[in-house]
Chains A and B, each alone.
Chain A
Amino acid sequence: MLSVLLDTLFDGISIGSVLLLAALGLAIVFGLMGVINMAHGELMMIGAYTMYLVQNSFGGLGGVWFESYIFLALPTAFLVAALGGLMLERWVIRYLYGRPLETLLATWGVSLILQQFVRSVNWAMVIGLVLWGALILTGRLLVWPRWGNLPWMSRVWVIAAGALAWGVGALAGERFGLALEEPWFGAEGVDVNAPDWLQGGIPLGDFQLPASRLFIISLTSICLLGLYLFLQKSPWGLRIRAVTQNRSMSACLGIPTGTVDALTFALGSGLAGVAGCAVSLLGSVDPNLGQEYIVNTFMVVVVGGVGNLVGSVVAAMTIGILQDLFSSGILPLLLGDKNPLTGFFNFFATDSMAKVIVFALIIIFLQVRPAGMFPQKGRSVDA
């Protein structure tokens, strides 16, 4: 009985640590800017696909390369996702500050684009996109200044360049056929093969601790520690905390809030990329991967309270353990057949029904603590 309980606890902690890893990035971004990034899940997906690409290029070499590609994949995924997040912040979200609901819708649009992009990306499309980027850059550096930066001229340029790039991409695809037009990933899921040392398990008493789960738990701990040190000890961490607490006052004191926003967003997105790597060890990677995690990670942020790492940790672990406690059906087992609650718990003893009860508990919890476990202290009326 004890070992079953321990097993459940371990599973719960490992679910919780995936949630936490995914929620960390969301939590600091939400705390800082008050915006919900619906594309966060898609940044995770990008991280997972980066892992898949690194595995394909290095895993094929075999031997020690295959055993250790994961340590190259993690920073790569971090960088790729951080870059994606940076672009998202600079090109979209920056223009929507102070309008959180609009930001939510815009990032949802971005998430749709990213999903479809991963499904249909091929060389022809990449050629077109690179050409478009190059044309816009050329226009920006060389052409627009000479025309006196007429606003409508730049728009015409961007659209015309887009049409041209699309045409070139389509033509190239036509000319070279499948070599350029075959999707890189396709709509179906791809599988990431974990190295051997992640596939086994560590025996402990009469049950096994799966190595991949242990790896995820330690990865989460390292990220958490790193983030904590960064926020508490580094000068930029100090600035981030200052802007989180009071944006206007920080701006008055000379903190470049725009840079802080961009940096935080990139950092949060990078963490999402790492979370994507972790998730890719647990199952197959497909374009909808982000959607499965996003709502649960939001719940972590809502329950934990804004802008507070401890809250996120406690919330993620609680939600993970509760979810596993209900879905594993261990409660009816513990209570025995006689107990009147057994039937009730049996009804909720599946993955989807466990979500139902966990959400109900969250709503009840928010009746008691509307601002989460560790709300920010302030004197504002709206707090």
Chain B
Amino acid sequence: MLNLRLSRPKALLLEVGVVFLLVLATVFGVPPLLTAAGQAYRINLLGRFLALAIAALGVDLIWGFTGLLSLGQGIFFALGGYSLAMHLQLQIPTGQLPDFFSLYGVSQLPWFWYPYYSFGFTLAAVVLLPALTAALLGYLVFRNRIRGVYFAILTQAALIVFFNFFNGQQKLINGTNGLKTDTTELFGQLVSSQPIQSAFYTCTVVLVAVAYFLCRWLTSGRFGRILVAVRDDETRLRFSGYNPTGFKVVVFAIAAALVGVAGALYTVQSGIITPDAMSIAFSIDMVIWVAVGGRGTLVGAILGALLVEFARNNLSDQFPEFWLFLQGALFLLVVTVLPGGVIGWVRTWRIFPPPTVTTYPSLEVDLEPEDDQQDSRD
């Protein structure tokens, strides 16, 4: 057996180096290559899917590490996307309103649009608006020790509520038609133009790396251990004198912020944001990216998002009918046969020995940390 484990500082340095090289390669190497291969449109796709990878990192943080299955991440995705889209819509001569308002006979800009004139506020809103929404929702839910499937269902219901709200309010945010960004201007250039899109692509790649290191930092220290403890046995953590509520709220908010950033980046690269970003299916897709890649591993989240989305993109074009069957089968496969995802499967090859997990004996016996749903009624 080949043992490649390094000492900690060396390993960290190696990791930083590898990520740095990957970022450089993706920013400077991949676009010319794809253009040369006559697949230039795939640069845009890659940019979009990398944006989704940031969302996947957020989902991995709460589901993979903390065990909170949220089916409502679409809310935060849309909040981030709408924030940036609103700012772009306002890049018009002073005194004018965005086009769609005239359709509904609105002559006065709704009050909550005004702050979005400022670029700084918009950037802050992309991060903070989802985070604060998540913190509020999370506090109300976690305070009452609502968890497991209850939490999943409540987040899904919240998702439906936000969807209905955004979908029904034509006069405020153009309802079901959503906000277009590709015909708007940023710094005097059309958003859909080549230089701006390249800038967004670079920005996305860099932010994936930043998000990766943020999650890496969060999950490696003391905080990370508490997250894993919440996942594996929250009651025991509580009995050890910790109050998990605060940690759960914080991690839920951070994940929401990541998803919000992903939403903003995805929106500007796809050209539009509609309430469909809050469809039930999309939020569950985010979970499946992480499940396919391997939950509890950050590389897995990124890899899973890219794999699933490229597969969807290729297969749903060729066999539109077949894709849903495949996707359904993927869900079944990932939970039954490959619970560790791709990364977990690769680890079984034993080239890189998995880090030994120190845990208490009962976990090794049942190997089912989420068992408490069953026990709670006994």
Contact = CB atoms under 8 A, between A and B. Distances in A.
A103 B149 CA distance: 10
Contact of B144 (A352, A366, A380): A366
B336 to A, nearest CB: 6
A353 B372 CA distance: 36
Interface string A346-380: 00001011011001101100110010000010101
A7 interface: no
A100 B149 contact: yes
B329 A109 contact: yes
A154 to B, nearest CB: 14
B145 interface: yes
Contacts of A350: 168
B19 interface: no
Per DSSP, chain B at the interface is helix
A108 B331 contact: yes
Given A105-B331, A109-B332, A113-B329, A356 B164 contact: yes
A246 B149 contact: no
A306 B153 CA distance: 14
A92 B336 contact: yes
Interface size class of B (residues with CB under 8 A): 35 or more
A112 interface: yes
A380 B370 contact: no
Contact of A109 (B149, B330, B376): B330
A101 B149 contact: yes
B283 to A, nearest CB: 11
Contact of A380 (B288, B335, B378): B378
A106 B157 CA distance: 19
A317 to B, nearest CB: 19
Contacts of A307: 377
A120 B156 contact: no
A34 B331 contact: no
Contact of A353 (B148, B165, B373): B165
Contacts of A363: 140-141, 154
Contact of A100 (B331, B332, B370): B370
A110 B374 contact: no
Interface string A82-102: 000000000010011111111
A295 B330 contact: no
A98 B374 contact: yes
Interface string B312-350: 000000000100110111111011100100000000000
B336 A108 contact: no
A98 B330 contact: no
Enumerate the 6 nearest inter-chain pairs by beta-carbon distance, A residue then B residue, closest first.
A109-B331, A113-B328, A352-B164, A116-B324, A382-B376, A112-B328
Interface of B: 67, 69, 140-141, 143-146, 148-150, 152-154, 156-158, 160-161, 164-165, 167-168, 235, 280, 284, 287-288, 291, 321, 324-325, 327-332, 334-336, 339, 366, 368, 370-378
